[in-house]
Amino acid sequence: MSGGRVPDLTVVEKAVAAALRAPTVYGGSPGQWRIGHSALHLFADTARWEPAVDPDGRALMLSCGAALHHFRVSFAGLGWSTRVVRLPRPADEPGHLAVVTPLPAEPPPEEAALAGAIDRRRDRPRHGGRPVPREYVDGMVRAAAREGAVLQREGLVRLRPGAGTAARGARHRVVAPSRVISGRRPPAVEVRSAPAVLVLSTADDTPLAWLRAGEAWSAVVLTAAKYGLAVRTDRVFEAKWTTAGRIPQAALHPGWPLPVAEPVLADVAEVLEPLEVLEPLEVRYQVSGSWYRP
């Protein structure tokens, strides 16, 4: 990618470096980036996928969605807008998650405003600290909504076959991200619903919904970081849960941060490579009945 209407390699590498800082359920970068003729392509790193503990790939898609949002936000902070086509060829290439085209246009202000929070994001809030102001929670709710998800203050309830919906406030089973990918099914952790738990949910339960939920997850944690907050994330482990008729994807616990060491990140060179075959200008992806030309 070079020339006056596309960013130079330095800008691309900065955006990929930002994507490496995204929250992840996995113990490292969940995606691989490929430089095409005029676009960046995000692929799931299936070598990291462990079907035994993530059988449907939901955790992998959530993590890749978070990386995609960090990538978009970094480009916005560098003065570029982006056009994103998600899952461009779901039947033929389910691991091809997104085509991102940088555009020399004014980026969305809400994305550009989050760029400075990428380096400030923390995942460990204090227990029993002072409460999070309602206006901060409202800001996180709006951030999730911009990415097509809902962040709710209500707790989760379980669906019991033949028994309808359990009472609000029931217990739910979640596992911390660091415990999901460990080579075996991790034990569930019982967590009682409380106002401090925010539930991130989507209308559907499809790979596209998981990817979008990951983008919303990123938007929430960056918004929290902008306010000086940290967010601990629990991924919903069992599938049969509902919250107001929606599909919960993660339980988020915002709070004031603990001091933590800087994370050890992968090198950009490990996740950024050219496409094996550069796509010609006439390559097209058919998406939702329309044509996309990278």
In a domain, residue 284? The reply is yes
Q: How many domains does the chain have?
A: 1
Distances (CA, A) of 125 to 18, 225, 255: 22, 11, 5
Q: Residue 79: which of 59, 57, 108 has the closest Cα?
A: 108
In a domain, residue 4? The reply is no
Interatomic CA distance for residues 175 and 95, integer angstroms: 25
In a domain, residue 76? The reply is yes
In a domain, residue 105? The reply is yes
One digit per residue, the tens of pLDDT, for the chain of length 294 reads 544 577 888 999 999 999 999 999 877 788 999 998 889 999 998 888 888 878 889 999 999 999 999 999 999 999 999 999 999 999 899 999 999 999 989 999 999 999 999 988 888 887 666 889 999 999 999 999 999 999 987 555 444 333 332 333 333 333 333 333 333 333 333 333 334 689 999 999 999 999 999 999 999 999 999 999 999 988 664 545 555 678 889 989 899 987 765 555 566 767 777 765 444 432 433 333 222 233
In a domain, residue 1? The reply is no
Domain that holds residue 194: 9-292
In a domain, residue 77? The reply is yes
CATH code: domain of residue 215: 3.40.109.10
In a domain, residue 213? The reply is yes
In a domain, residue 110? The reply is yes
